[in-house]
Structure formats: structure tokens, C-alpha cells
Amino acid sequence: TLSSLKEMMVIILIGLNGLEFARISKGLTQKQLAELSGLSVTAICLFERGKMDPSLKTVRLLAKLLGVSNGFLIDGDLNSEA
């Protein structure tokens, strides 16, 4: 059923960081987000894995493209206004 599918998605998405969660929620691949943002796929992957931190300018760009707050991308807090 649709509700059990949603529950499974929530369980799967809980382990993701803010960027990866927002990207997947928007239905985008890393390649698509890279193309939209002008960043490399490698950079998107490194940000999502926590291997590299994006600049504040990049955070602002990605947040705008994904429709989330800067704070959500930084710390995964949906209520963050940063």
C-alpha cells in the first residue's frame, strides 16, 4: 500500500545527511544536481559522504535549488532557519 511504501521510504531516508535527503526527496540523481548547480558529481558525492565541506556560497546555492534551508543542509534540521 501507499502508506507502507511511505514508511519504508522514511526508514531508508533517516540515515541520510541533509543534502542527500533533500536531493532524493526532489527525485534528483547526483548527476542531475551537479548539472543544475554547476558542480561536479564528485563534489556532490563528497559533500553527501561528509568527506568535504561545501563553502557557504555552495550551501546557499544547493539549498535554493533543493528548496530547503541552509541549516537543513548543514545539520539536517528541518526547523533551522540558518
* Mean pLDDT value of segment 2-11: 54
Indicate if the pLDDT at residue 22 is higher than 50: yes
pTM for this prediction? 0.76
Confidence of residue 82 (pLDDT cuts 50, 70, 90): very low
Backbone dihedral region for residue 12 (phi beyond 0: left; psi -120 to 50: alpha; all else: beta): alpha
- Do 58 and 48 touch, CB atoms closer than 8 A? no
Q: Return the higher-pLDDT residue of 52 and 82.
A: 52
- Do 43 and 67 touch, CB atoms closer than 8 A? no
Element (H, E) at 73: helix 70-75
* Mean pLDDT value of segment 5-10: 54
